[in-house]
Chain A
Amino acid sequence: MFWKKIVDLDPKIIYLFVGIALMIPVIRPIGLPLRISSYTQDFYDYLMSIPEDSIVFLDLAFRETGEAELGASVLPVFELLQKRGVKVIVGGQWEQAPFFMQRRLEEVADRIGSVYGVDWVNIGYKPGGTATWRVMMEDFWKGAAGVDCMKNRFEDLPLMHRVRKLDKDTFAAIIIWEAGSPGQGTWMQYAPDIPLLAVYMSGIGGNVRYLRSGQVKACIGGMQHAAELEKLTGTYGDAIGLLDAQTLGILVVLGFIVLGNIAWVIEKNASSVE
């Protein structure tokens, strides 16, 4: 009877356990030890190898739903590049992230003394899909309509005078935070000669094939790699704290799967005996 109840467990009980598991570490962080994976180390090493004063394009291709996992690694990467004197152009194939990340990027820039227009610029979202990026490859100003996300004219932004084309002579790398499509495929197809780094949502998963083929130079994915990046760069943000919650959440999921299977096997054997 007990195992039958487990097999037919009310989803609300599962929700309750998941909720508690996610909430506890947020209120009281556990501080699980964190080992730096090879993926994060390679990603960090690549960032460190980008020459000072070169320009990197950050493609924030995600929306609010990806803010927790993807947004967590945008800030350490931005801060590291800016501290190293690498210029940053922020943009996005998705409309939302360049818009809502602006405030958080400004906070980091203010803290480390980066000057908008000189050290970094956010061009925002430009509609038109891949055609827009192809136009930027020929004429960046034309493709981006000559204004940044705050409608400042490129003429008034000193950094933009160095950005005339979206090509390998202008950009040392493109880093994409990808939540779906459009995403890294745009850069692989139309700008294969610009080194591409990628940050994926919920782990690297099947995207590891692009790393193996060399289409992506380095990649990280999910909260764990974001936390490792925070640790490597020494820029402690949300990721390390939230990773504890994710850990407990996964343990609860696995615990329920194991419990469900034990109950299912016992119940099946009991009913076959009857």
Chain B
Amino acid sequence: MLRQELPAILTTVVAIVVFLGGILFSLDEMNVLSEIDSWIQLMGNMALFLGGINLCKLHVNNIRKRRQHWIFSVWLLIVFGFFTVLGLAKGSQDPLYKGLYDALIVPVNASMHSIAAFFLCSAAFRAFRVKNLDSILLLVSGAFVMLASVPIGDLISSNIPVISDWLLNIPGSAVARAMSNGMFFASFAATLRIFLGLERRHLS
């Protein structure tokens, strides 16, 4: 009851209140929605705290069971613990905390992302083969958009940015709109199932 029914009932009740809040002025005047928002904000902070605990539990288990790459879990816990203690004790604007973050996390994360450029190039070399009309269209339109995104495109021909703009504005826009509408309806249907208590997998 407590694990399944109560969260489902709470979800449905809150969903009804929020829905009615959107269409009834009286609820808006009673600040019901802003009160719910404050609760969501509070729960967001609690979720952050729970996320930290879950992360620790997961990696402690990895170490205890000597799972593959468990040594990285040790490293994660050391860094996690160090930054948590330092942040709580000195604050996020402490020179040591900020210095470590700026000197380590920022360049390491940026480097990890930059490596994708190499993999992308290698993958493009193998994937972009002109096997049929579809792949020719993909390759040609991709080449126009890529060239237009750097100054050399305009130097080669002033038509390249024009063609790229047309590709983005007309077919690209239409397809992106269609996809986002499709995604909206799909997520709306999924949310509705949760609101009505039909979908409970997230509670198990």
Contacts and interface: CB of A to CB of B under 8 A. Distances in A.
A233 to B, nearest CB: 18
Main secondary structure of the interface of A (DSSP, over half): helix
B124 A257 contact: yes
Interface string A139-152: 10011000001110
A29 interface: no
B159 to A, nearest CB: 13
Given A209-B173, A257-B128, A243 B168 contact: no
Contact of B152 (A37, A135, A212, A251): A251
B38 A135 contact: yes
Contacts, number: 158
A246 B150 contact: yes
Contacts of B177: 209
A222 B149 contact: yes
Interface stretch (A46-54, A60-68, A73-81, A82-90): A60-68
Given A32-B152, A253-B121, A254-B147, A138 B34 contact: yes
B124 to A, nearest CB: 6
Contacts of A247: 150-152
B197 to A, nearest CB: 22
B37 interface: yes
Given A15-B118, A18-B118, A243 B44 contact: no
A203 B150 CA distance: 10
B129 A261 contact: yes
Interface stretch (A112-120, A124-132, A153-161): A124-132
Given A32-B155, A33-B155, A257-B139, A128 B124 contact: no
Interface string B106-131: 11111011100110111011101110
Given A33-B151, A131-B41, A250-B150, A260 B110 contact: no
A194 interface: no
A134 interface: yes
Interface stretch (B54-62, B73-81, B90-98): B90-98
A246 B149 CA distance: 9
Interface residues of B, number: 58
A22 interface: yes
A273 B139 CA distance: 27
Interface in B136-170: 139, 143, 145-147, 149-152, 154-155, 161, 168-169
A143 B42 CA distance: 11
B102 interface: yes
Contacts of B175: 206
A132 B34 CA distance: 10
A209 B151 CA distance: 23
B55 to A, nearest CB: 15
A224 B38 CA distance: 41
A265 to B, nearest CB: 8
Interface string A194-212: 0000000001111111001
A223 B108 CA distance: 20
Interface size bracket, A side? 35 or more
B45 interface: yes
Contact of A249 (B105, B107, B113, B117): B117
A103 interface: yes
Nearest to A254: B143
Given A65-B113, A212-B169, A15 B34 contact: no
A253 B146 contact: yes
B48 interface: yes
A125 to B, nearest CB: 10
Contact of B125 (A134, A243, A257): A257
Interface string A227-260: 0000000000000000100110111111011001
A247 B168 CA distance: 20
A86 B109 CA distance: 33
Contacts of B128: 257, 260-261
A151 B93 contact: yes
Contact of A32 (B122, B151, B168, B173): B151
Interface string B170-191: 0011011100000000000000
Given A209-B173, A260-B129, 12 more contacts: A11-B122, A14-B125, A64-B106, A100-B106, A128-B40, A129-B44, A131-B36, A135-B37, A143-B41, A208-B168, A208-B169, A208-B173
Ranked 4 nearest A-B pairs via Cβ:
A206-B176, A131-B40, A64-B109, A128-B41
